[in-house]
Structure 1
Amino acid sequence: MRTRLRDRVAASDPGLMRLTAGLRTVGAIALALAVLALLGADVTHLVTGAMAAMAATFAIREKQRRRQAVTLAVGLPVALAMVALAALLHTRIVLGDVFFVVLIFCAVYGRRFGDRGTALGLIAFQVYFLSLFVGATVPELPELCGVIAVAFLCSAVVRFAVVPATPAGVLQRLREAFRARLAQLVSAQIELLDAGPEGVDKALEAVREGTARLHETALMIQARLEEGTPDEAAARLVQRRIADAEITAERLGLLLLSARSAERADTLTLHLPGAPAPSMGRLPGPDEAVATLRRDLQALRTLVERTGDEVTGTALAHVRNRLLGYRDEEHLPAASPAVQDVFRGVGEAARAVLGLRLALGGPQDESDDTPATARSREELDAEDAAIDAGEEAGDEERPTGLRRPTTRAAIQVTVGSSLAIVGGEFLSSQRWYWAVLTCWIVFINTASTGEILVKGYRRLLGTVLGVVAGLVLAGLVGHHTWTAFALVLVFVFAMFYTAPLSYTLMSFFVTAALGLLYMLLHTYSPSVLVLRVEETALGALCGIVAAALVLPVRTDRRTDELLVTVLQRLCDVTESAVDQLSGGPAADLLDRARDLDQALGDLRAATQPLTHPITPLRARRDTARYVVALLETCAYHARSLAATAELLPTHPSIAADPRLRGAMRRTVRNIEAIAGRVAGERPDATIATGPSIASLLEPGAAGGPRYGRITGRVLRHLERLDEAVTGLGRPLGVPVATPKR
């Protein structure tokens, strides 16, 4: 029971990052409140300390503890300077507004200097805003500086002593999350195996969601490998094993779907949200084979779930040996070819789980190994020995001047904040800064007008709901100071825990907590909370106007740029993998596949304004979803080709075939044609079609002997990739050239 509960927590919050962020922030605030209360601070100083501790905690995003400590140490004098300037400019309204605008520009522009520049900019902005919130004045300056120093010290204590998080520890928890999500995906595949006609769509949706969650965790692990592993060879080993496990798990789902379908299932089915399940019936073959498959899928889930010392034992070794035996043709049960393919998929998945366990847990007991298991271990050892440091990534050309995203965003948010200051003064000469805060926030992590529009809408919705909650809570709590602070801590934790999941929920908890803080400062009234909604709406509107009129980046342009990047990286991965499979030199394929996945993730995020439920352009929404799903299909096959190519030097059943290079020329040319058409560089580009990839390598085809040296799996990936690339033509408006007879 404890293991299952732990796995559920690990799967719902990979790396426990949301939990860590929430506990750190709440812990820093609670410790600051406790210290300040012991020092006899009044309510205003308690609120200042709480907000300063929160700013000092959430602003720092660096992964290395030493860099975190340096940023926190540098952030304290920055915070003290901001509160001092706010106090000095308290009575100089115009000069204070001008400085606030300059500060906003510098804080946003500082993002170009990496995590530290971003953190210092956030600290500077938040502390200056805090000073406006509590009305900092020169006579109070010494006490306020002392309160902020205590808040930063408490933040450091909680970060480094109470809730520590080392890169290696975070990576370990992410690996546990990957294992838990892999087990959940296998459970979903078992449900798909058993689903009746009425439950197929629901079971398929569970497999689709489990596949996406597993891929998300794999990307999170890859982002942490450099800091969380002792050397580059160890990082590449973990990267390869994670990629193998992800690919084999997704392939197992496709094979199972194909076995239940009348024909081989399209990979797109697992990537297109809401896509109906193909026509499915009873699993073909004898009942004994179906029962054996169900048993072995359950056994595979058990292998994935067991960790550490739980992997020992004769019974578990027997299960592992049986599953690995399906990699040999003579061990496959009597069944239809489609069902036998599923058994092969189970064998490959068991091999991936074994490789993952060896990479993460070291050598295992080999006393009960069968010949099939011993062969799998030898293959894994040979692959591990072949890992080298790889290639150094070349420097990419980066935009300069006004084309640089940080410069453009700094100018946009400066203009938007200026408008928010002017408009906010008309609404309230005392609380105009709420409009500025909203304008600032809607520009964080956004890159197009559409993204800013969606974020502004979500913040306004969360604020309205939070105002309602604030009115109710203020009436219930009354003037019980510590009850109010306890609720604030609960809301702060909820804010950080839900932030990656729902921006609307985060805004709700922020506004509800602010209602309680207003009450503590004796400035609470229903009109104040209504004013908060008005200022939020004004700030969001100013942000949208600035984004639309000042150096605008339209959503279409942004998505087109990202689409071209995805296509270029898809072409790079495909061409490099096929070149290696054709006998070319080794390349750093998994890193290139990771770059493709990251570019696809950026495109998926950028299309959210187009796929949002409230968008009136339904046809456009469906097209965007279809294109992203097709690209995810392409990325899956490209990842699989890259993983197979990396096995080439050590895997006995995979050998180079020079004909592959010629067979893939059409696919690569089609990818380049689509990219050129989207970028506007090749308006007359068309997609070429012709014989299937497999037919080009059939016996008797010109150019060489039978293709027995190339596995059927490689051919299937090449064929499906070619089909998916051709399928991109219709939604993107690239015509398909009619082949000459």
Structure 2
Amino acid sequence: MDALWVGLGTVVLLLTLLDVFLTALNYDEAGFLAGRLASWQWRLVRRFTRRLPRRWRPVVLRQVIGLQVMITVAAWLAGVIIGYALIYLGHMHGNSFKYTGGSADLFSALYLSAGQLATVGGTGLLMPDTPLLEALIIAESLTGVVLVSLTLTFLLGVYDVISSLRSLSSQFYNAGAGVGDPLATLTPYFPNGEERGLDSHLDSLSDSFGAYMDGIRLHHAAYYFQSGRDTFSLPYSIHMLGGVVQALRWGLPRSHPVAQEPTLLPLTDQFERFEEYLHELLQWQSTGVPETVDASTFAEQVTDLRINPGADPVPWRTAAPDPWVRGFVQMNVAMAELVRSRPLTDLNEAYERYVEWLPFAYRAQQFGAAVAHDLDYQPLYSGPQNDVPVVSPARPTASSLRRAVVRAKEVFADRVTFIDPGYVRLLDAFRVMCGTVLAVGVVAIGFSLADEPLMPGAVFAGFVAMLASAGSVGRGRGLGRLVDLVALVPVLLALVLDAVVRHGTLSSSTALVVVAVLSVLAGLYGPRIGRLGVLAFIIYYFTVLLRLERSDLLLLTIPAVVGVVCSTLARMVPDRGARARVVAGGVTAFEERLARSLDPLIDAVSASRWDPDLQHRIRSQMNQTHHMAAFLVGQLTQGTTDVGLTTEQARAVCLRVHDAELALENLVAVARMATGAGMPLSVRAQLAGTLEAMQQHVAAYPGRAAWVTSSADGSPPESHRSEPFRPVVPTGEELSRWPRSARRVLLAAERIQETTDGLHSARSGDLFLTEGEVKALLPSFDPPFTTGRSAAARRPRRVTKDEAAPLLRRSVQAGTATAVALFLASFVSATHQYWAGMPAYQVIGGTDGEAFTKGVRKVVGTILGAIVGFAIAIESDRSAAVLLPVLALCVFAATYFRQASVPLAAFWQTMLFAQLYEYLGRLDAEAVGVRVVETAIGAVVALVVSAVVLPTRARSRLSQQATTLIGTVRSTARDALEVWRRGRPVSVEEAAAFSRDVEKMDADLRALHDTVSSVRLGPGAFDPSGIQNQLSRFWELVYHVKSFVTTTEQARTDDTHVTAEQWAQLETQTSQNFDALEAAYDARPAGAIDPDLALVDLDDEGESDVTRRALRSLARANQTVAIIASDTVTQPEEPGEAGA
């Protein structure tokens, strides 16, 4: 065994020293340990930095090389210490050491080895007693000295390589801040078209590049260096150097003096050798060089491109030229402009240069893309115009503490804007808590003066005050809230019923079931009476749970009255402009969400990658943006008079919100096409810079939209508007040289800017529907829009027959679930089975989908609330100092999350019940487990009953009617596409057929509304995946298809450059998208949906305005189909950010 330790230690020591030698002293070797450690550490850091906010990434990236050096040195030290320690361990048995306090174990060996490596001499605990070990001790001390020297050599060598990279990067000139065009770096050396100082510049480039190449071969760890600046990096240097070599060698005729510079050939050779060296290390997948076009094709394309080097062929009309020929021509034209000569005059000589240039250009592109991908290079170009306009007055200089406070308030306001726009739920929860505390205080003082026991009267008053706020039926403000005093009726009825019914198991259970049924049936007289019915059930349930005596019930009448009165008084506190604040906050939150959605898109464009991690981040941000848009549209459809908008203006706002969503979807689609190795680095940087500038532009909007004409204080909206957005991109001919996919990203970004500016800056007078939009919306139907005034003026009425059906179903389900839950819970506890009744009653929802999606979450929240509540109650030992603050927190949280999060509301409500039960002395430690089991029984029974007893068919009817509407919409779009494909104007018969199709779409849309009318205003209807949002999406889809039909009727379909084959391609892709949407509603596997129709730039010359509008309407219709299908298939959960 001793020989094994000695042998193992010798191997570890020799391998470590060999790695030190190879890493620090040997050329072309990175070391088998240090190289792998550096690579692993970089990949770990890269995974972390990709998820960091962009502003913090440079801070972390700058630490990469320092961490790698420290980890490498630490690994070497550990290897030497462990190697010698294992050798010492193998000699510790016997008389090889003298012990003065140490022991013969591994720790002592490590202690001796570390001490000897750091100092010369023994440790004092054990000393070597043989010549061999004495020599080994001295050898380790000398190894430490050598290791320090080699470490310093390695450290200085690494930073010398970084210095060479800095020298190389600084050789390239850029007009703006960031990555630019390699040809721009040659501009200073050609004043007035004459070469000046180019030879010395090339010599300097060659020297710096050669020094960096040699340094990298000796110290490969320097390859992972990150400065955090775009223009001080290896990918930037490769991009600029490769572009300079290509431009000087093949951008001018061979006879030109510049092309004959003697340094060009060695510099080209250096570049190719460095590419081969890194290719062996990185092992990127290298494909074959693209085939060159023949000489005649080259001449034809050059002739066409030389006339207008940036022009693309008219969309769909002619085949695009070879991209490499285009690049070669553009490079020659740019160099000709630089030297003031005519480009490509000799096509034969140019063709020879093209054939020679293509392999180098292709390998340089692959080389740069591979290194940029490996180093996660994400450039951002910010030119002199990338200044975000200041749209708010400058703040005076404040102290550091004050700035920190202001910043904390801004962060809090931003976060609350997402979860509670307008602070309405926060204020409402605070009022409820104040009313509850007031009720408890009044009863406590009164009972103390009357020498009556405080419990359970004081707590019961607070409980009634909280529940009465949830059952509020008052309308209007101020004295109009006195109607809430009607809550005394169900509260007193519940108390009287508890006093009348005998406290037996059967009688109390039967009464509880009957009250559960009647509380739901109360909704037949309107939602306000329905809330009073729920209040009656909860009050009666609570009195049954406490098993109070009749004498106690008489004393609870006064607290019940006090609780209702205090709740009413608290709600009479005015909250002016609440609806306006919610809508204004919703607009702000939507704009902020849209701006944050650009973060992963900026990364995708800048890094030119579309990996699963980025896709997940993009989809997550998109879902949150859709959620906020659904919330905003839901608020606008519930009432608009408080905001100062008419119904038509609210529709116009909703259209602008949907336009912004579609613009974002379009940007995602075109950004994906702009990724890959073929996108030039300078274009990537400028596109990313443009998206970031636009993101800052959107984030710099004023606090409220201009069309919100009322606020909490009744003040008018801000008078200033944001300045127009100026993209940081070249213009004119330079922009025309960009790849088409890059220009499409730019157009999509400008479209987002237009839609968000239109949403935020429009005055209420600007919110009107154009003639074309009105025609697309007619014949009108009753969309899900109501005005606050008409809603307020509407008197309470009994529900219709269609609306009564779900209430009857829910009453049967509630009664059945409560009865079954009480029966099953009686096997767990014969006397306290009532705890299972409340979960069974709460979980019953409005539809199957609600019962099973929200029901499961209610189950989880209810069970966790019971566990936490009972645990706090038991551990606090009924201490008022603990339970009373916890009760106040439960009241506040239960009210705050009541309309935002189903599981959180259930959690806090159940926790509140548990605290009350314990505080009133009805719980002991042994009963906690029983209560948790009863909670689970009640929740699970409710789920089963909702699925078995009278299950609703609303969702299945919705799917059936939605499928019918989708078929009609698809048929209408197909007929319009057929008109375009034939290339003939719309005939009289076809116009009549279109009118019938439009009428059929309207009829199907009305039928869809009628189908779900019973649940349109039910719980969860305004959730992002709820019924109301789906109806809004279908309304938007019909609108865009109507717009497409209208433009089809107006257009001269024979005067377009889109060919019949390409119209057929559009028709096929549109049909496939509709097929996938139908499959989603039929619960069949849905095929892939491609919302991007590859319509190329809609603003290209050659197409009429009507044709472009038709293509745009078709594209938006397909994007809407994609959004509906995504919501239908994934059914995203609301994140608690959709407010009240």
What is the CA-CA distance between 1:189 and the residue it aligns to?
4.0
Assess if the C-alpha contact under 8 Å between 2:595 and 2:698 holds in 1. Answer: yes
Between 1:671-680 and 1:473-482, the stretch displaced more is 671-680
Maintained 8 Å contact 2:690/2:727: no
- Determine the structure 1 residue equivalent to 2:782: 393
**CA separation in 1, counterparts of 2:1128 and 2:683?**
42
1:551 alignment partner, SS class: coil
Q: Which of 732, 748, 759 is the aligned partner of 1:345?
A: 748
1:525 aligns with 2:525: no
Change (3 A) 1:637 1:707: farther
Aligned with 1:238 (options 650, 654, 660): 650
- Are 1:434 and 2:835 matched, yes or no? yes
> 1:21 and 1:384, CA in 2 relative to 1: closer, same or farther beyond 3 A?
farther
- Partner residue, 2:552: 140
| Alignment partner, residue 1050 of structure 2 | 656
TM-fit CA distance, 1:172: 3.5
Matched, 1:642 2:1039: yes
Summarize the alignment of residues 206-225 of structure 1 with structure 2, pairs less than 5 Å apart: 206-225=620-639
Greater RCO (CA < 8 Å, at least 6 residues apart) = 1
User: Which structure 2 residues correspond to residues 28-107 of structure 1 after superposition, within 5 A?
Assistant: 28-40=435-447, 42-60=454-472, 69=481, 72-91=484-503, 94-107=506-519
1:8 matched to which residue of 2? 415
**Partner SS for 1:39:** helix
Q: Does the Cα contact within 8 Å between 2:818 and 2:841 map onto a contact in 1? A: yes
| Aligned counterpart in structure 1 of residue 694 of structure 2, from 279, 297, 303 | 297
Shift of 1:74: 2.6
Tell me the alpha carbon deviations over residues 334-356 of structure 1, each in whole angstroms, 9 at most, x when there is no partner.
Answer: 53333323333333333323332
Distance 2:768 2:949 in 1: 58
Kept after mapping to 2: 8 A contact 1:78/1:120: yes
Checking the alignment, whether the CA contact within 8 Å between 2:836 and 2:938 is kept in structure 1 is yes
Counterpart for residue 179 of structure 1: 591
CA distance in 2, matches of 1:723, 1:170: 29
CA distance in 2: counterparts of 1:502 and 1:558, whole angstroms? 23
**Contact kept in structure 2, 1:562 and 1:599, CA below 8 Å:** yes
**Alignment gaps of 5+ in structure 1:** 263-277, 364-376, 609-627, 696-704, 732-741
SS in 1 for 2:926: helix
Describe the shift of the 1:540–1:202 C-alpha distance in structure 2 as closer, same or farther (beyond 3 A). Answer: closer
Q: Is the 8 A contact 2:490 2:532 kept in 1?
A: yes
Asked if the contact 2:895–2:905 (Cα under 8 Å) also holds between the matched residues in 1, the reply is: yes
Match of 1:483 in 2: 882
Q: Which residue of 2 aligns with 1:465?
A: 864
Distance 1:51 1:606 in 2: 24
Q: Is the 8 A contact 1:108 1:409 kept in 2?
A: yes
* Cα 1:678–1:723 shift into 2, 3 Å: closer
2:479/2:572 contact within 8 Å kept = no
Aligned to 2:572: 160
How much is the aligned-residue C-alpha RMSD, in angstroms? 5.6
Counterpart residue type for residue 419 of structure 2: S
Q: CA deviation at 1:433?
A: 2.1
Post-superposition CA distance 1:300-322 (Å, at most 9, x none): 324545547997679x42x34x4
Secondary structure in 2 matching 1:174 = helix
Aligned letter for 2:839?
Answer: T
Residue type of the alignment partner of 2:695: Q
Correspondence 1:683-702 to 2 at 5 A: none
Q: Which moved more, 1:110-119 or 1:332-341?
A: 332-341
Count, aligned residues: 645
Q: CA deviation at 1:122?
A: 1.0
Matching residue of 2:908? 509
Q: Distance in 1 between matches of 2:1052 and 2:601?
A: 37
Secondary structure at 1:437 match in 2: helix
Following superposition, the deviation at residue 163 of structure 1 comes to 6.1
CA contact (8 A) 1:57 1:155 kept: yes
Q: Is the 8 A contact 1:14 1:173 kept in 2?
A: yes
CA separation of 1:724 and 1:302: change in aligned 2, threshold 3 A = closer
Q: Distance in 2 between matches of 1:67 and 1:162?
A: 10
CA pair 669-10 structure 1, distance change in 2 beyond 3 A: closer
Letter in 2 for 1:393: D
Give the 3-state SS of the residue equivalent to 2:456 in structure 1: helix
Give the residue type in structure 1 aligned to 2:417. Answer: A
Letter of the structure 2 residue corresponding to residue 153 of structure 1 = V
1:417 aligns with 2:818: yes
CA distance in 2, matches of 1:470, 1:729: 37
* Aligned equivalent of 1:266: none
Q: If each structure's helix is expressed as a fraction of its own residues, which one has the higher value?
A: 1
Residue 657 to residue 458, structure 1, CA distance change in 2 (3 Å): same
CA deviation digits over 1:398-435, x for unaligned, max 9? Answer: 99599922212211221222223333444435432221
Aligned partner letter, 1:639: E
Note the C-alpha offset of 1:81: 1.6
Counterparts of 2:839 and 2:900 in 1: how far apart (Å)?
Answer: 19
Separation (CA, whole Å) in 2 of partners of 1:401 and 1:378:
35
Between 1:4-13 and 1:671-680, the stretch displaced more is 671-680
SS of match in other structure, 2:550: coil
| Residues 46 and 4 of structure 1, relative CA distance in 2, 3 Å threshold | same
* SS of corresponding position for 2:429: helix
Instruction: State which drifts further: 158-167 or 82-91.
Output: 158-167
Could you report, residue by residue, the CA deviation over 1:481-508 in whole angstroms, capped at 9, with x for unpaired residues? 2431111111233334445565444443
Q: Greater shift after overlay, 577-586 or 173-182?
A: 577-586
Q: Larger Cα Rg: Structure 1 or Structure 2?
A: 2
Partner SS state of residue 205, structure 1 = helix
- Residue in 2 that maps onto 1:614: none
* Worse-matched range after superposition: 222-231 or 578-587: 578-587
**Are residues 1:493 and 2:857 paired?**
no
Out of 429, 433, 442, which is 1:22 matched to?
429
Identity percentage of aligned residues: 19
Q: 2:1052 and 2:1118 mapped to 1: Cα distance?
A: 17
| 3-state SS, counterpart of residue 335 of structure 1 | coil
**Which residue identity is paired with 2:835?**
W
* Distance in structure 1 (CA, Å) of the matches to 2:576 and 2:560: 22
Q: CA offsets per residue over residues 205-252 of structure 1, 9 Å max, x none?
A: 343233323332233323333453456xx2332332243233234423
Alignment deviations for residues 364-410 of structure 1 (CA, whole Å, 9 cap, x no partner)? xxxxxxxxxxxxx8998989999999945399xx9959992221221
Distance 1:329 1:489, change over 3 A: farther
Q: How much does 1:52 deviate?
A: 0.9
Return the TM-score normalized by structure 2: 0.48
Partners in 1 of 2:680 and 2:867 — Cα distance?
53
**Cα distance change, pair 164–325 in 1 and its aligned pair in 2 (3 A):** same
Name the aligned partner's letter for residue 937 of structure 2: L
- Cα separation, 2, equivalents of 1:426 and 1:727: 45
* 1: CA distance, partners of 2:606 / 2:1007: 34
Tell me which of 949, 958, 961 is aligned to 1:562.
958
8 Å CA contact 1:72, 1:156 repeated in 2: yes
**Which moves more between the two structures, 328-337 or 165-174?**
328-337
Aligned residue for 2:551, secondary structure, equals coil
Closer/same/farther in 2, CA of residues 169 and 532 from structure 1, 3 Å limit: same
CA offsets per residue over residues 608-658 of structure 1, 9 Å max, x none? Answer: 9xxxxxxxxxxxxxxxxxxx99xx999869736626857999xxx998349
Residues 226-265 of structure 1: matches in 2 within 5 Å?
226=640, 228-230=642-644, 234-261=646-673
Alignment check: 8 A CA contact 1:18 1:497 kept: yes
Q: Which residue identity is paired with 2:687? A: V
Single out whichever of 42-51 and 285-294 deviates more from structure 2.
Answer: 285-294
User: Does structure 2 retain, via aligned residues, the 8 Å contact 1:655–1:710?
Assistant: no
